[in-house]
Amino acid sequence: MTIPRQPNRESAPLSYNQQGLWVLNQLMPGTSLYHTPMAVRLTGNLDVAALKSALDMVIARHDALRTTFSIVDGSPTQVVAKSLALNIPIINLIEIPQPGREAEAQRLLRDEAGRPFDLSQGPLIRSVLLRLAEREHILLVTTHHIVTDGWSVGIFHRELSALYEAVVDEQPSSLPQLPIQYTDYSVWQREWFDGDVYQSQLAYWKKQFTTLPPNGSTVTFTNLNSLIGRSNSQRCRRCWNCRPITRVRVCRLIELFTARSTPSLYQRSLPTI
């Protein structure tokens, strides 16, 4: 199955995984539950200018890292910026004596990783560099899960490392051009899902939800188990009591259903690297 390249990559509909995350963001604005922080400790002589150049090159390779989400004609839409130069603030912690220096570094990392993103304004990737000593730094890159995932983290690290070495050595990049971008996948997914696939899935879930409790009633783990067809002996096996499902737990369930219905966000656009 081949995913075709789209002639217009500046905008595209959301994939179904992105749509689920976008809805969750509307329900819980400002939450950091769907942030993807990537921290790495760097030991040795660090060329900060080369690091910034390498980071910009990674962002230039992947349209998803330059994407924001706007309402167009009443629907959320991916909007891809032509370019994005990311700033890397440097926080100097050298003057703080140990062990307070490490504790302060951890506090700054937690605060930065939890700082909210604005999906409509972006950027949905940011970085900060902590200087612990002349030859010791911590680089934190934080993204929103709507533009990256666990699969992408390893790719990001490999590419950033390879491009940093190339810049330092004044060599051209050895990374191959990407065959497709994420917008290509999201358009393909929408087209594939339309028609018979959509109708069959819709019919299935309508049937599953015919036994939902009436509007306004409290859903507990007990009656949730009954809704999904577990026997009495299987109900509440992992919970100490039947707690009401909060909005956060409902959102977790929504995310679970969404994640199991389609491939991981970037598994189709990045595994060839």
CB atoms within 10 A of CB 63: 23
User: Residue 216: what pLDDT?
Assistant: 63
Do you find a cis peptide bond into 179, omega within 30 degrees of 0?
no
Extract the residue ranges of the chain whose pLDDT is less than 50: 223-225, 227-273
Largest interatomic CA distance in the chain: 67
Query: Is 194 inside a domain boundary?
Result: no
Q: What are phi and psi of 76, to 5 degrees?
A: -65, 140
Burial of 1 by CB count in 10 Å (0-12 exposed, 13-18 middle, 19+ buried)? Answer: exposed
What is the model's pLDDT at position 201? 81
Tell me, yes or no, whether 224 lies in a domain: no
Q: Is residue 257 part of a domain?
A: no
CB contact at 8 A, 160 and 50: no
How do strand 125-133 and strand 90-92 relate by DSSP bridges? parallel
State the total domains in the chain: 1
Q: What is the pLDDT of residue 259?
A: 42
CA angle 254, 258, 264 (to 5 degrees): 135
Q: What is the pLDDT of residue 208?
A: 84
Is there a domain that residue 189 lies in? no
Domain that holds residue 16: 11-184
Q: Specify burial of residue 53 (Cβ count, 10 A radius: 0-12, 13-18, 19+).
A: middle
Do the domain assignments include residue 98? yes
In a domain, 222, yes or no: no
Residue 154, domain member (yes or no): yes
161 falls within a domain: yes
Look up the CATH number of the domain holding residue 136. Answer: 3.30.559.10
Q: How much is the pLDDT for 99?
A: 86
pLDDT value of residue 220: 57
Place of tokens 């191959």: 176
- Residue 230: per-residue pLDDT: 46
